[in-house]
Structure formats: structure tokens, C-alpha cells
Amino acid sequence: MTIETAAAWADLAAQARARAQAPLPLAARGTLTRLTGLVLEAAGLRAPVGSQCQVRMRDGDGPVLAEVVGFAGDKAYLMPAGDVHGLSSGAQVAPAPAFVQPLRLGAPPPEDDAAAGVLLLPMGEGLLGRVVDSQGQPLDHGGPLAQVSAQPMNRAPLNAMERDPVREPLDTGVRAINALLTVGRGQRLGLFAGSGVGKSVLLGMMARYTQADVIVVGLIGERGREVKEFVEDILGEQDRHRAVVVAAPADAPPLLRMQGAAYATSVAEHFRDRGQHVLLLMDSLTRYAMAQREIALAIGEPPATKGYPPSCFAKLPALVERSGNGLNGVGSITAFYTVLSEGDDQQDPIADAARAILDGHIVLSRALAEGGHYPAIDIEQSASRVMHNVASREHFELARQFRATWSRYQKSSDLIQVGAYMAGSDPQLDEAIRLQPGMRAFLQQSMFEGAELQDSVGAMAQALDGG
């Protein structure tokens, strides 16, 4: 045995001895006293809000995982993360055991920061190319995760003065966005639309063509069939190796839907902190808010606006502000969040709140989608708040001219279609009518066609010249 090996064995023995001699904290246990709808009520449990607990019958099967979401006096309210079938009054409720990292020969001693009830989920390079659920369990039948370590999801917010401003343009591969709604690296944008107008397809185009080191996709509260379609049909083999997909479909409990969004954001933060440029795609932010609404209403929080309690509007910025540029210019998270506008109402409370906290909004029009115009981006209602910081003056002026010409035609389209407009009455409108076919062709793009940033600007100039 070499000196190095003997030293490694001695260090491993010291770690094991220290762990064995460490005092064991006494965990307060409670009793399940009530189950109403989605909420479990436990008496005698002393656990902070956000901690993980296990609910177990004495003669039942495996425990049910639940999270403390509130309390009143000596009673704690918990939201289950699984099926509660088989639970009854008197079940034992206890904080989930702390994660204990196994000792390995030659490995550094584990950090002693894991307390009972703290949620730890896998993070690391082993997540690339995998599809996992909200609890980090693989869904792709690719075997157990490797090259990962369990880390807490909750992170301290970054100091706003230590973030780099958005100054560098990002090529998304979508011609209309590159030219008219130029995105900056580290920006947070929303895709606003009703159901069935192409939000998921547009997300897939950006996942395929955007220049990023890592792609993190959070499928939150959407149809379960979209998970496999997104992985196989949109990402494909060429991009799957750099992507992590976190899926919490619509049939998952509200706690897991919220946890899935937080987990996807934590994974993106993990890679950003290592200096990588991350593209975070979350579908959708509205389903995340709806999950919080279910939890808040279940524990008795009063509704405020269209059934949404105040906590929903507090959770949105807490989630969104975690993305963006990293500390001192190290790494970035460029995020796109889909926002479902119920009934295509842009004044929906969640849509209105999201528009205020995001760095831009891309509105998809049902009228354009019904006319076969894809991507159905309404450039009149859409805006990128950082375009003036990342685009050249010539590019910005071309985009302004394009918007003005397009808007002039749209405002007079009814007169034009019924033949009430006489050519020559308005020279600027005559010019807009002449350029309309080329502009419309410029705004349309196949989902299997990518467009680079410089090529998009050149195509916009050509459309304005009538070419």
C-alpha cells in the first residue's frame, strides 16, 4: 500500500468516525388529523414552511411525500406530492430524512449543510440529454442519473448591482424575432397567446436554432403527450445532448407543477454559475400560477383578482428574477416563458402581471394563425425592451420603418379588402400596399428553417426595398 492510499484510507475513516459521533437532531413528529381536498392537516408537527415531510401509515405502503405550505397555531398544512389513497386519520407525519452523501475513497468530505426536511435534487452534467420529473427521477428509461450531486433548490437572490446589463444580441433563428424583436443574451421574454396558436412550436424553433451552450426546458402543466413529441420531434438527436427537459404535466399535483418550474430554473442556474450560456424555455408560466392558486385557495387564502390570491403575484417575480446574466458577467440565462391568455384576453391578470416583470413580450395572434401565417407573431403588439441596447442604429431604424409600413397597411386593410380605397389618395399607403406581399413573406417561416441574425436584417431591408 502506497503512502497516498494509506492517507486516503485514514481520511475516509476519520470522516466515517466524525459522522458516527455527530449528534442526531430530534425531529418533531405529528399526526394526520384532517384531509380536505388537496390539503393535509397535521397536529403536533414543528416544521418550517417549505420543508419536506413524509406521511406514513403504520401498516401501509411507502410514505407519501408532502410539503409544508402553511400553519395555524399548532396545526401545519401540507400539500401532497403524490397519491393520498390509503391515508387515514392518525397517520404519522415526520420531516423527511436529510440526504446523506455516501463516502468515497479519495473524495473530499461532504458539506454538512443537509438538514431534515430540506429538498435536495440532482444537479450536474449527468442531466444533459435526460428527461426528468419534478423530483429528479428519470422519465426516459435511460437508467439512473450519473455525474450528479444532490443540491438544494433554494438559492439566495443575486445582487442587482453585480449583474451585467444586457448588451450582447442573441441569435434565436427566428427571422421576425431577430429583425424586429431582437433578443439580448440574459433577457427574459414572454410568449403571450391563447391556446392552439403555436406557442410550443415557436419554443421548439428557438430550442433548435438559438445559440446556447445548454438548453433547459420546463414543461409545466401542459399536455403529457407534448413531452415525448418535444424531445423526439423538435429537439431531435442533434440538440438533445445539450438539453435538459423537466416535465410536470397537467395531471401532476399542483405542488409538483410548482416544484418542476423551480427545479428547471435551478438547473439553469447551476450551469450558468459554471460560466455557460443557458437558454431556459418554460411552458407555461400561467400553469405555474394556476398551481399556486390551487394551493393558496386550498389552505384558505382569499382570492383577489379573477380568483387569483395575492401570493400568485408574489411568486411570479420570485421565479422570473432568478434568470438573467450571472455575477460579474459569468454565464447567463436567457429565458422565454409562455403565458396563456385566457380567451385571447391580453388583460388577463397573469398576462398583465407577467408583462410588467419581463423584459419584453411576443404576442401571437389567433387571426394570423387562422390565416395560415406562422409564426403568428403580431409585431404591432410585441416589443423587446432591450432591442435599443443590442441592435445597431441602422438595424433599429430599419425595424422602425418596417413596423410603420406594416401598421399603416393593417389599419386600412378593411378599406382595401372591400375596394373602398382609391389608389393615389395616400402615397404612403400606396407604398405599404406595394410592399405588403414581400413583408408578409418575410414574417413567415417554416419550423424546420433557421434564419441567422445578419441574414434576417438583410432580408428585412430587402423587403422594404420591394425585392
Are residues 305 and 223 part of one domain?
yes
Q: Which residue among 342, 374, 391 closes a domain? A: 391
E strand or H helix at 414: helix 413-417
Residue 412 domain boundaries: 396-465
Q: Are 173 and 450 in contact (CB under 8 A)?
A: yes
Are residues 426 and 343 part of one domain?
no
Residue 196's pLDDT is 79
Are residues 369 and 260 part of one domain?
yes
Given the DSSP bridges, would you call strands 30-36 and 64-72 parallel, antiparallel or unpaired? unpaired
Are residues 412 and 339 part of one domain?
no
Residue 423's pLDDT is 83
Q: Assess if residue 353 is contained within a domain.
A: yes
Q: Which residue among 74, 95, 116 closes a domain? A: 95
Are residues 345 and 312 part of one domain?
yes
Residue 151's pLDDT is 87
Q: Assess if residue 170 is contained within a domain.
A: yes
Residue 194's pLDDT is 82
Q: Are 176 and 377 in contact (CB under 8 A)?
A: yes
User: How many domains is the chain partitioned into structurally?
Assistant: 3
Are residues 437 and 357 part of one domain?
no
Q: Which residue among 356, 374, 391 closes a domain? A: 391
Global pTM reads 0.86
Residues 6+ apart with CB under 8 A from 431: 405
Are residues 284 and 179 part of one domain?
yes
pLDDT tens-digit series, residues 283-313: 889 999 999 999 999 888 898 888 899 999 9
DSSP class per residue in 299-345: TTPPP-BTTB-HHHHHHHHHHHTT-EE-BTT--EEEEEEEEE-GGG-
Are residues 403 and 291 part of one domain?
no
Q: Which residues of the chain have pLDDT under 70?
A: 1, 4, 6, 8-9, 12, 15-16, 18-27, 60-61, 98-117, 342-346, 467
Are residues 355 and 404 part of one domain?
no
Are residues 210 and 88 part of one domain?
no
DSSP class per residue in 345-413: -TT-HHHHHHHHHSSEEEEBPHHHHHTT-SS-B-TTT-EETTHHHHS-HHHHHHHHHHHHHHHHHHHTH
pLDDT tens-digit series, residues 335-344: 999 998 765 5
pLDDT tens-digit series, residues 191-250: 998 877 888 889 888 888 998 999 999 999 888 787 888 888 777 777 788 999 999 998
CATH number, residue 284? 3.40.50.12240
Are residues 188 and 41 part of one domain?
no
Are residues 315 and 242 part of one domain?
yes
